[in-house]
Amino acid sequence: MKKLVVSSGAGISAESGMMTYRDAGGLWDTYPVMEVASAEGFAANPPLIHEFYSNMRKKMQDTVHPNAAHLGLVDLEKDFDVRIITQNVDDLHERAGSKHVLHLHGELMKVRSMRHPERIYQLPCDQLTDKGLTTTVDTRDPYGDPVRPHIVFFGESVPEFEPAVGLVQQADILVVIGTSLVVYPAAALLQYARRGTEVYYIDPNPASVPSWVHVIPKKATEGVADLIKLLRNQ
């Protein structure tokens, strides 16, 4: 089976109702990014960070569902060995049913111990002092340690980047979906594709990319449907 590697960004979840970050009216227009998504912001105002991510979790659980683009990628598992690398912190690829998902920027539905970062808890979690989707500076894990969102903040390293590069290097087909390609190192992944790898980029407002990339200038749901037809007719 050919290996099809997907690199997804906020755009794939836009039609599910998740805000993108940099489009007009996106999340970083509404909230100051350095306050809610940076290591400095977290150090300066941890209650705000807990509130922000707790609210996002509730929204994601209550009102956001996988769309036809997420589901289309699951369908492609019939024909390809599909590996997903996502910059998204939502769990829509998993909820759609994708088997292999690597989160470059962390996961909204997880928190981790501030003292032992390898202790990661999926929310809701019986072992925490807060049992729901809300965490605060007072939330404790079973060892009595405070927790923080399992999110890669600006200014922090991206531990999943190397495994992601490994996947891209093995790709026969690489599909980039819904990302402005401005945040590094994620934006650099494209450069690791081997010569001869077929590369597709689905985005209604695509960033400029090298000429060997096949751009599908459509929304994710339509673009993934086109891609499936194209790959199945090859």
Judged by the rule CB under 6 A, the positions of this chain that interact with ligand APR are 9-11, 14-15, 20-23, 26, 37, 87, 105, 178-180, 182-183, 203-205, 219-220
* Minimum CB distance to ligand APR, residue 138 (Å): 26
User: In angstroms, rounded to a whole number, what is the distance separating the alpha carbons of residues 66 and 17?
Assistant: 10
* Minimum CB distance to ligand APR, residue 105 (Å): 4
In the block, tokens 């755009």 appear at 11
Nearest to 7 by CA among 228, 158, 156, 202: 202
* Minimum CB distance to ligand APR, residue 85 (Å): 11
Let me know: does 213 contact 190? Beta carbons within 8 Å: yes
* Minimum CB distance to ligand APR, residue 216 (Å): 10
In the bound state with ligand APR, the residue whose beta carbon lies nearer, of 30 and 127, is: 30
Taking the C-alpha atoms of 22, 63, 71 and 9 in order, what is their torsion angle to the nearest 10 degrees?
Answer: 20
Let me know: does 41 contact 153? Beta carbons within 8 Å: yes
In the bound state with ligand APR, the residue whose beta carbon lies nearer, of 69 and 125, is: 69
In the bound state with ligand APR, the residue whose beta carbon lies nearer, of 85 and 125, is: 85
In the bound state with ligand APR, the residue whose beta carbon lies nearer, of 21 and 161, is: 21
Let me know: does 168 contact 161? Beta carbons within 8 Å: no
The catalytic site residues sit at: 105
